[in-house]
Structures are given as C-alpha cells and as structure tokens.
Structure 1
Amino acid sequence: MINPFFASMMALFCGVTIPYPSMPAFWKHWMYWLSPYHYFAEAVITNDLKGVTVYCTDSEFFRFTPPSGQTCGEYADAFLKMASGYLKDPNATDMCSYCQYRVGEDFYRNLAWDFSHRWRNFGILCLFTVFNLCAVVYFIHRYRGNR
C-alpha cells in the first residue's frame, strides 16, 4: 500500500520528469539526492547518449521564418553560438528548421547531468543496495519473534 507512493516519489524526483533546475527548492535539496532512480537514470542515460549524433525527424524541428534578405544561418548565427542544436538548411531563405539537439550530450546537459558521474552513481547504487539488504536482514532478525 505504501510502496507505490514511495516509488512514485522516487520516479517523480529523479530528474527526468522534473529537471533539477526546475524543481522547487524544498524538493531539490533533499528528495532529488535521496532518489536511487536519479543515480540509475543519470548513469544509464549519460553512458548511452555520450557521443551519439542526433538526427531530428521533420515533426521534431522548430520552424521559423528569417527576415527577408537573410538566410537562416545568418539570422540564427548569434543564437547558434550560444545554443546547442543545428539548422536543417542554413542557406534556406523561406523557412528555417531548427533541431534543439546536435548530440546526445545536449539532451542530458539540460537535466544538469554529466558523463563523469557515471561511476560515482554506480557506487552510490551499490551502497543503496547494501544498505537495503542489511536493513532487511536486521528487521527480519529483530522482529521475527519466537517461532
């Protein structure tokens, strides 16, 4: 009865549903770091997406029109120097198509995750496992009663 509540809280505050920068301060400072789902998701996602080139499909592009007399590349140049992603055709003059991710790192950088944390996260998950196993053994022996 209580387990679904805790599982939902862990999933909600692992950093995927609500990215760390967007979390309310109260939850950000303790629940995010307490959730083992956070460490698992960060380790797996950063490991899998590192170095992967992203190709957006037509429905995933953000479309906008440049001012007349400018190409998409000229119009979006300053933005693209600061942002991740790419233009489908920088030389287009009628409709620009922008994909927000160029590589997998662009996705998990928005979640405040880093590839260098993967082994730290693995170690923390191992500690979670050992702690839970020790707690189960302790409570079984403590509350088993005389049988």
Structure 2
Amino acid sequence: MSEQSFHLVCPHCQATNRVPAAKINAAPNCGKCSQPLLTGSPHELNAQTLNKVIQKNDVLTVVDFWASWCQPCLMMAPQFKAAASQLPQVVFAKIQTDKYEQAAAPYNIRSLPTMVAFRNGKEIARQSGALPSDQIVQWVQSLQS
C-alpha cells in the first residue's frame, strides 16, 4: 500500500513537488530550488501562476483577489498576512485583479476583496469583504478537513 502524498507548487520557482503526508508538517522544501514550500505568508500570483497554484496544489489554498485602488483590500492585506502566519499548512496567495484582469475573470469575482478557497483544483468556498485576521483564521479552519 503506497503512502498518501500531496502535490505542492513551490511559491519561489513554481515547480510541482510531491510531499508525503507524513512530512507535510515538517516544513518541506522544494526539490528543485530547496526553498520552503509552505512559507506561512501569502505569495503574489500572476497570470501564469494563478491557474497552476489552484490546479496543482492538493492542500487547502486560499487566494485573495484584490486591487490596488481598493481601500478595504489594502486594509485587509496585513490581516491576510497575519492569518497566513497562523496557518502554515495552508497555502495563502494573492492576485491583483486590476493588474491581471484576464487571469481573475474565470473566477467571477464581483466584489473586492474576495477570498476564494480551493482544494484539489476546485473552489470549495468564498468570502467577500475585508475581515480581521481572527475571522480569516476561523473561516479557513472551518474549511479544513
């Protein structure tokens, strides 16, 4: 019987790594660039990396869709970062919708900021509006299985 493993996209070089389930909590590093796979902080996505991170990560992935002109988005950014530091086994990422409008379009974002949670390439939940870090943590924990 083979051991369960997870695919994780490296936030540094975008290589897809297979991590044994037993090692997911042991701060795994990328097999290609040796950088940490789970950083405990959000990483910026672009048009090329958004789809890959969503489709290839097997672990819970929370993407913050935001815009540079959006005051609530700017207010929530440090809260999102604080939440990421409290949940290091969850991938937190951000995509700037005014810069990468076409990449964000398929996700039907109607208000900003919007956090969308994905698992195994599928949307499992979304939350619109700025939230404090404790509420972000609570929301994400409610999605973990």
TM-score for the superposition, normalised by structure 1: 0.27
Q: Which has the higher strand share?
A: 2
Q: Which has the larger radius of gyration?
A: 1
Q: Which has the higher helix share?
A: 1
TM-score for the superposition, normalised by structure 2: 0.27
